[in-house]
Amino acid sequence: MGQGAAKGVVTLDMLPPGSRARVVHIDAGTRALRRLIEMGITPGTVLEIVRNYGGPILVRVRGTIIALGKGMARKVLVEPL
């Protein structure tokens, strides 16, 4: 994570299955940021981790389950709820 994160803020890939979190910031370049926004991942959005072991992380966003690679998930800073 490296950048002095606010208290309680972690990257999306650190959350266990079943946990929920609110997106606080997306630390990504223009292309990755656009892709995440197109998937419905924007600051303020509440997410739920469906699966986080092995391959991609499965995340429920706005009622839809999407798969995110670990690298992309590390760009999403969240506050666990």
Map out the domains of the chain as residue ranges. Answer: 10-80
DSSP 14: G
> Within 13 Å and on the Cβ side, how many CA atoms surround 68?
33
Specify the 3-state DSSP secondary structure of 18. Answer: coil
Residue 3: per-residue pLDDT = 47
10-80 maps to CATH 2.30.30.90 = yes
- The predicted structure's pLDDT at residue 54: 83
C-alpha–C-alpha distance, residues 4 and 30, integer Å: 22
Per-residue pLDDT of the chain (81 residues; tens, 9 = 90+): 444 445 699 999 999 999 999 999 999 999 999 999 999 999 999 999 999 998 899 999 999 999 999 999 999 999 999
